[in-house]
């Protein structure tokens, strides 16, 4: 069972079916859809959001604001975690994404024992890249034709990572 994590106005709580239904609309919204990837049917989208139980609902002052998923590599010689996030358009550009990522990063590092985190935004998604850099993620390299976009074409993504000791150097907003 995932914990509930809080810092300021932002709460990460375990994803439930009610939030999953609402978030399916969020990832279909303008400002999110083009970065979410190829769109399947509604059932497929809900299944992707569930992320095999490794997903949080992001709330801001009690309102559903978005989704944060993670994946853990537990092979001892490669142990790390990857993150993904989507925010409803009305919650973008207000610092809530970096705040949610900091919460998840601290939990993955301090409670789950990961020393490295990754995230891989679309190379053209400058807003996301700037938000991830604000948390301390650094560019590693371009992954060419990495992900099929909502337009059906393959797009490049930027692999970014954050080491545990780098998170401690980034202050709260």
The 10s digit of each residue's pLDDT in 117-140 is: 999 999 999 999 999 999 999 999
Q: Which residue has the tokens 């560019």?
A: 139
Q: Is the pLDDT of residue 37 over 90?
A: no
DSSP 3-state assignment of 12? strand
How many C-beta neighbours within 10 Å does residue 89 have? 12
The pLDDT of residue 173 is 45
Query: How do residues 43-100 score in pLDDT, each as one tens digit?
Result: 899 999 999 999 999 999 999 999 999 999 999 999 999 999 999 999 999 999 999 9
Instruction: Flag the least confident range among 10-14, 49-53, 136-140, 166-170.
Output: 166-170
The pLDDT of residue 169 is 52
Percent of the chain residues topping a pLDDT of 90: 82
Cα separation, 135 vs 98, in Å, equals 6
Tokens read off for 164: 């545990």
Secondary structure of 13-58 in HEC code, one letter for each residue: EECCHHHHHHHHHHHCCCCCHHHHCCCCCHHHHHHHHHHHHCEEEE
**Do 10 and 56 contact (CB within 8 A), yes or no?**
no
Q: What is the DSSP letter of 116?
A: E
**Do 157 and 123 contact (CB within 8 A), yes or no?**
yes
> Which of 74, 77, 92, 78 is CA-nearest to residue 32?
92
- Rounded to 5 degrees, what are φ and ψ at 94? -130, 10
Domain boundaries, the chain: 5-167
Specify the fold of 5-167. Aminopeptidase (3.40.630)
Cα separation, 80 vs 157, in Å, equals 19
């Amino acid at each position: 069972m995932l914990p509930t994590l809080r810092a300021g106005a932002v709460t990460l709580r375990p994803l439930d079916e009610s939030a999953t239904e609402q978030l399916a609309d969020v990832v279909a919204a303008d400002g999110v859809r083009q970065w979410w990837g190829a769109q399947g049917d509604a059932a497929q989208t809900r299944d992707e959001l569930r992320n095999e139980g490794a997903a949080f609902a992001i709330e801001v002052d009690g309102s559903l604001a978005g989704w944060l998923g993670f994946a853990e590599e537990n092979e001892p010689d490669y142990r790390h975690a990857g993150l993904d996030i989507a925010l409803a358009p009305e919650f973008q550009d207000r610092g809530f994404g970096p705040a949610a990522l900091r919460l998840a990063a601290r939990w993955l590092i301090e409670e789950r024992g990961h020393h490295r985190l990754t995230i891989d935004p679309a190379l053209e998604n400058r807003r996301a890249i700037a938000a991830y850099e604000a948390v301390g993620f650094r560019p590693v390299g371009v992954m060419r034709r990495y992900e099929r976009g909502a337009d059906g074409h393959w797009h490049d993504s930027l692999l970014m990572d954050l080491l545990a000791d780098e998170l401690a150097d980034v202050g709260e907003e």
